[in-house]
Structure 1
């Protein structure tokens, strides 16, 4: 089962899944982010931290078009503390350099105090960094379907 968030036009703007092998939440953004989609989207994957006992997230914004600067203050002052209380400790975001999404991510990273975050150009580097923090207790969740469980 996979959880998707759709925009007002019916297009998928976010896909969220729990990677039980690596012990982190995966979130993939695409299209134009709106304040509403950002709030609904981050609330969706934040609910998974506590539910699955996870403290790591891997976010892919390489298919995001435009900026999420309109939601930056809310993300920093409302969402980040809430996500930390839900268990988030390590946040890896992959962005295409030179894009508006990457610019906002850099600003977010420079002002964030609620948890440890890094911005990456390449997915493999982000996964390698997160794997340093995903503890053995977070790896190898049992689920009847095995492998990666999507929520």
Structure 2
């Protein structure tokens, strides 16, 4: 074959190869878009991402600012029993006429998913219920997401 015959064939072959490469690229791009739509993105918290105050002193259960603060969860052992009882007696002493109290349990979503943090916050509130029942206090539970650390707070909500 001579150059006059081979040149158009080479041009047609290179154009065909370019079209095939473009089709493969479009197919790959379509797969990437389809997979990216399947990935669920979640916000951290509700509308705020992070506050500037972080609790990085991972101590045992402690009272601070009218709250019981701890790292992720607190143990219901003998060392925490006295602290929780003292805290609840202080809350009851602040409101003599109060009959019902609200347990506010925080669930930060900074180190876990929102669903997992909510479950942990709820389980922390449930751990506090036996102490309230022992003190003869009626209760409600409220989950909150306003800080980047776990805490439990008990507030009066009803008068006799």
User: TM-score scaled to structure 2, two decimals?
Assistant: 0.33
Higher CA-based Rg:
2
More strand by share: 1
User: TM-score scaled to structure 1, two decimals?
Assistant: 0.35
